Copies of this chain bind each other. A is one copy, B any other.
Amino acid sequence: MAQLDNLRIVLASRPAGRPRPGDFRLEHAAVPTAAEGQVLLRILYLSLDPYMRGRMSEAKSYAAPVAIGQVMEGGTVAEVLESRHPSFKPGDIVLSHSGWQSHAVADGAHLRKLDPAAAPITTALGVLGMPGFTAYAGLLTIGQPKAGETVVVAAASGPVGSAVGQIARIKGARAVGIAGGETKCAFVRETFGFDAVIDHRAPDFAEKLAAACPQGIDVYFENVGGKVWDAVFPLLNTFARIPVCGLVAQYNSTGDFAGPDQLPVVMRQVLTKSLTIRGFIQREFVAQRPAFEQEMARWITDGALKYKEDIVAGLDRAPEAFIGLLEGKNFGKLIVKV
């Protein structure tokens, strides 16, 4: 298969702050060959997610950074071209973690076969995949919303936020979303059915959020940090739970953060309001994955839960799309059609 061209995007340099297009490099490489137990894949769709910003930095995190010159990491949906694994045959559609490239080999043991008749295959990267499971596991395990409580989530038009709010409503809680711009806000209100939506670009954003949460906030699903946190923090109720899933607003920050130091103020409220702040990554809840897949599929079939995808055509556009994602330019789950 060496005549085929593997198009791939590698990390060219570690960004200081906001990634620039030059931090990525498009390369042509030979298509690899599948060894025994492996399959050769043609990547159909690549998922772009905020966590990838962490992999571009050298700082210690829950996963090793991508090395300079290495293919950018990422979840993918792919078609099997050649199989040397008994469970797969050419034409099968699989979920893999093959990164930003057009072709890859993978161990059969690391793949999950998808049924294109059951759901659109892109949903394996979104509502039925990692982002959907992040919302489900973080909200239900840490957030534990109860009927009548108020759940707040930012990036509410995105794949995690939209699922958080809709699952909160399924559990009988009030969902208050935060999104950027009137188009996204209208979609969150009308299609995702949140009880209230606030545009974080509004000059009186904090006041509007307070008005939308007259009973305070019981669960804040943290995926952005920054000024959303500042507005949410005074509204937290006693025993509020804060699953921390992401901090997109600070991923591009460098150096020290300007004072005053907010930590003692936050810790005082943690103490006097018996707050729970709990960071997580979805894979620690792997035991709940089967329940998630079953419930989420049912909610989608029933129409109780909607999703939105934002599909960009062409692997070469992945860097630009990813940079836009960190700035909230996507509208729905961002996926590259490779």
Residues of A within 8 A of B (CB): 54, 60-62, 222, 225, 229, 238-239, 244-247, 250, 253, 256-281, 284
- Interfacial chain B residues near A256, Cβ < 8 Å: 259-261
Distance A49 CA – B293 CA, assembled complex (angstroms): 50
* B257:A257 contact, CB within 8 angstroms: no
Copies per assembly: 2
- Cβ–Cβ contact B257 & A271, under 8 A: no
**Of B60, B258, B271, B278, which is within 8 A of A276 by CB?**
B278
B270 touches A244 (CB 8 A): yes
Complex CA–CA separation, A262 to B259 (angstroms): 8
Q: Tell me, rounded to whole Å, the shortest Cβ–Cβ distance linking A171 to chain B.
A: 22
Q: How long is the Cα–Cα vector from A3 to B60 in the complex, in angstroms?
A: 71
Q: How far is the CB of A293 from chain B (nearest CB, A)?
A: 22
Q: Which residues of B contact A261 (CB under 8 A)?
A: 256-263
Are the CB atoms of B284 and A279 closer together than 8 Å? no
Least CB distance from A222 to B in Å reads: 8
Chain B residues within 8 Å of A270, by CB: 244, 277-279
Complex CA gap A283/B60 in Å reads: 38
Q: A261-B261, A267-B244 are in contact. Are A277 and B277 (CB under 8 A)?
A: yes
How far apart sit A239 and B264, CA to CA, in the bound complex (Å)?
22
Please give me the residue from chain B that is nearest to A269 by CB atom.
B279
Report chain B residues within 8 Å CB of A244: 267, 270-271
Complexed CA–CA distance, A278 and B246 (Å): 19
Q: How far is the CB of A52 from chain B (nearest CB, A)?
A: 14
The 3 closest A-B pairs by CB, nearest first: A259-B259, A256-B260, A270-B279
User: For the complex, what is the distance from the CA of A267 to the CA of B229, rounded to whole Å?
Assistant: 11
In the complex with contacts A275-B278, A279-B273, A260-B259 CB distance below 8 A = yes
Q: How far is the CA of A171 from the CA of B268 in the complex (A)?
A: 29
Given A261-B261, A267-B247, A276-B274 contact (CB < 8 Å): no
